[in-house]
Every structure is written in structure tokens, then in C-alpha cells.
Amino acid sequence: MDKLSFDGPVVLAVLDGVGLAPDSDGNAVSKARTPFLGKASKKYPHLALDASGLAVGLVDGQMGNSEVGHNTLGSGQIIKQGIARINEAFESGEVFESTAWKGAISRIGSVGTLHFAGIFSDGGVHSDISHLFKMIGRAYEEGVRKMRVHAIFDGRDVPPTSAIEYIKQFEDFASQFVDADIKLASGGGRMVCVADRYENDWSVVKSGFDMMKWGKAEYYFHSAEEGVSALRREYTGVQDQNLPPFVIVDNSEKPVGTIEVGDALIYFDFRADRAIEIAQAFTYWDFPYFERGNYTPDDVYFVGMTEYNSDTHVPEHRLVEQIVISDTLSQFLGLHEVSQLAVSETVKFGHITYYFNGNSYEKVSGEEHIQVDSYTEPFETRPWMRSAEITDAVISNLEKYKFVRLNYPGGDMVGHTADMNATIVAMEAIDLSLARLYQKVQELGGCLIIVADHGNAEELLDNEGRAKTAHTTNKVPCIICDDTVNRSRYELASIMNPGLANLAATIATLLGFNEYPKSWQESLIVVNKY
């Protein structure tokens, strides 16, 4: 017999944003007291996996992120996606041949304004400012002379106080179009303006909607650089991601770029999780989340860089069609009647469900999801997050399912603040939870796989000793915790450059399958034949 068989479940625990790096002043992972992880990495089969660049379908050298990480984990495939897919669409001309681009240009005619909004950096995780520049240049070639940009400042995927650098890049670029009227019209940090995700806080979306559509905000300035500089003086130590929203006004104190009836708005983020809610705000007729005034979706031609929800196909107009991911692990297990459970808290719930399932919220046969509500306070003030509650939910349901997947967000969400002490606490809370979780998995005769989707918490300082909030290109851990009789029946496979895409086949193998879709990367383990 050459099939594995566990009495208990196979459990996949994703430690979001926990990479591998040498001990250093900026490594919160190595500084944290994590006795369970320390013992597990010595006792059980373990290896380092590629979780960035080409290994997850991005451009070479591009840091990994949670979206592509979970897509790759759940599909078992290396699929060109994210910035790699969008770059290709710009190079081929697909963007400008799309009906959405042509519709936006047609909509504004000779009197309307073409607006752009999105995360205003070259981080390459949600967006890239170079795409904005290419669209402005093309619109100018096609006769558009009035354009406005609403900047969602980053500070998470790029240095935490780099906003003015991107403002200057934009202004230098716009200055070459001497007979055009191209301006920044508003701005705000991504964590407090526009870019909420998983419906954690609709007030974030409302602040961005009001800022862009109505020119309403807490602050008003005559330039974006003035605004950022003034807010940094008022809020000492504020990172770009938390800059309050502001509107730019002219000498008569009138907003320079509200979105008017007949205008077009292109939202240039290509990653869905922080784009879907603002897309809904501009496109849904039945919209219960906040009051939009006398706005209706007919007023503005809204365009997304790509599709932000492949189940509901939002938005209707998009520049690049979403990739189609088939043969996912969930689909495979559903076809073979393997019961499944997915658990996380709000801020990563969509990753362990929607992205893991190949960009779909639809459950397969035998699959269930449990969402634990995240705290609404800043992550560094509650760095343990909901690790304990996630673990409680999993433990109480372990006997009902054969495959369970969960996501502990602390390494990523707290790591993005670059707060060392808080990130250490996050890691220690996760370690305590893993110890509790594995004790129950052991009792049931199951197996626990520990992995991460990308790095972050292991590198909170850059090479010059400055705070680093961005993801990393470091490899991530993979540990197979197994104390059952099965452990003597398999060994690690010899794979050159193993990565996240090898996990789906590994899970299938642990669940007793000798065959899996040919599109998948091979399993990390080999079962000994008798």
C-alpha cells in the first residue's frame, strides 16, 4: 500500500508575512520567543520555499504578497498574475484596445474630465505608478486635455514616508504636457481613505468617496506636497498609509478636481481586495453601506484596472480581463468528497477563501468558512490580533473536516507597521496558538503543515536602518508536523527551487491521493512504496 491515511485532519496553517532571514536588529521573527516553532523546525521535516517573483507568477525580483501567495497555494500552479499580467497587457496594447478604455475616452468627450485613482506608488503589489503615467500619456495622445488624479498614499509596500517622492515624480511627468490641465486633486493614506478590504470599515471607503466625488475632507491644501508636509508636522511620526484625507483647492479655495456628472474614473489598482469596495461605491445601484448624496452610478463611467470579483464581475468596465484559475485544490477535494474548512479573521478572510479558491467565494461541495471579526483598533495596539479566537474556532471544528486551512494575519498586518515590539508580540501570540492547535491535531491523529505566503515580519529595517513596512523577497518556512505512523512512510522529495505552488500536491498526497491534476507542481513529499 502506497497511500497515506490519517485518522485526523490535515491542517494547513498560513503564517501571513513570516519569512526566513538571519537574526538581525530588524528581524521580529527571530527576536520573538517562539518555542513551538523552534522545536518544530528541528523535529519535523522542513524546508524553505520560494514565495516571490517568478515562483508565484510575478516579475523576477518582485516581492510576494498575500493575493498571489494564496492563489498559488490554492491552485498548485505558477500563474502569471498581478503586476506581471498587467505589464504584459500594457506591452501588448490590450489596455488601450479594451472597450473600457475606449468607453472612458468616449464618455468624457471634449468637455469632461478623466480621473484616475489608486495606490500612488511603484510598490507593485496593488498598483504601479508607471501604469498611471502610461495611461495619462495615451489619453493625451487621444486628445484628452483635462485629467485629475486622486492619490491613495502607500507607505506599506514602499518606504513609510515616501509620498512626496511620488508626488514629485508625478508633477515632473505631468509638466511635459504643456497644453494640458493635469493635476493632483486629492489624497489620503490607504489605511484611512478608500482602500478598506473585506468590509472591515466602510467609513474608510466613505472618506475616499466624499473626498473624490464631493471634494469634502477634514483638510484642504493648495498642493499635495503642502498637504503631506503639513500633516506630518501635525501628526508627528505619521506614516503615509495613515495620512488623513485632504482635498486640493485653488486660490479661491475651490476644489480643483471633484468628479462631476459625465466624467470617467479609472481605478488603477490591479489587486482586488483593496479595490472592490470603492468600485461598489461608484457602481452599485443598491448600496446600503453609506449615504452617497444625490449620486447615481449613471453619473460616472467607472473603470477598474481588472475585475475585482470574479463571481459578481465587478466592475462592469475593466481594462484587463481577470485570469481564470481552474483545477484548484478546493475543486479537486470537493470532487472527491473531502470535507473542508477555511478560517481566519476579517483582514485575511478573503485570502484563505476567495484567493485560495482561485478568485471565487463560491464554496465547493463539503466546504465551509468561518470568519472571526478583526479588531477595528490599529494593529500595533492589539498585536495578538485574533490568533486565539481563530485557534478556538479551528479546534472546535477539527473533528468535522478532513482538510482545514487557516490564516494567522499577525506577521503581516502588524509587520506593516514596522513596530518591532508589537510584531514580536504578534509572533509570540501565533506561536502559542500553533502549540494549542497542534496538540489537538496530535490527539486526533492528524497532520499540521505550517507555511507562510510571503515575508515581512523578518525584515522591519532596511539596509540603512530605517523602518521597513513592505513585504520581502525572502523565502518562507514550510514545516510538516506529523507524529503519526505515516511519518515513517514518506520523505521530502528532491525538488529544485521548491515554492508555494508545491503545497497543493503535498496536501493531496497527505490526504491519500496518488494522483492530482497535471497542471499542479509536484508534491514536496514522496510516499515510500511497499
- Mean pLDDT across the chain, nearest whole number? 96
**Mean of the pLDDT values across residues 409-433?**
98
What cell numbers appear for 223 in the block? 498642493
Q: Tell me the β-bridge partners of 526.
A: 491
pLDDT confidence of residue 198: 86
Confidence band (pLDDT; 50, 70, 90) for 69? very high
Q: Do 152 and 120 form a contact (C-beta atoms < 8 A)?
A: yes
Provide the pLDDT for residue 2. 78
* Residue 530: per-residue pLDDT: 60
Q: What is the pLDDT of residues 237-263, one digit of tens each?
A: 999 999 999 999 999 999 999 999 999
- Active site members: 66
**Strand ranges across the sheet with 340-345:** 46-49, 476-481, 447-451, 10-15, 403-408, 340-345, 367-372
Q: How confident is the model at residue 435 (pLDDT cuts 50, 70, 90)?
A: very high
Measure the CA–CA gap between 381 and 318, rounded to whole angstroms: 38
Of 483, 472, 390, 405, the closest CA to residue 444 belongs to 483
Structural domains in the chain, sorted by start: 10-80+324-367+395-404+432-462+471-527 (3.40.720.10), 84-304 (3.40.1450.10)
The confidence score (pLDDT) of residue 431 equals 98
Compute how many other C-beta atoms are within 10 angstroms of the C-beta atom of residue 233: 9
pLDDT band (50, 70, 90) for residue 151: very high
pLDDT band at 323 (very low <50, low <70, confident <90, very high): confident
Q: Quick check: 1 pLDDT over 60? A: no
Cβ pair 56, 500 in contact under 8 A? yes
**Beta strands per DSSP E along 280-335:** 301-304
Q: For the segment 269-289, what is each residue's pLDDT rounded down to a tens digit?
A: 999 999 999 999 999 999 999
Amino acid letter for position 108: I
Q: pLDDT at residue 327 above 90?
A: yes
* Alpha-carbon separation of residue 285 from 212, 223, 289, 338 (angstroms): 19, 34, 12, 39
Would you state the torsion angle of the CA atoms of residues 334, 340, 343, 348, taken in this order, to the nearest 10 degrees? -20
pLDDT surpassing 60 at residue 394? yes
Q: Using CA atoms, how far apart are residues 485 and 501, in angstroms rounded to an integer?
A: 27
Percent of the chain with pLDDT over 70: 100
- pLDDT tens-digit readout, 474-528: 999 999 999 999 999 999 999 999 999 999 999 999 999 999 999 999 999 999 9
Q: Lowest mean pLDDT of 18-22, 126-130, 323-327, name the range.
A: 323-327
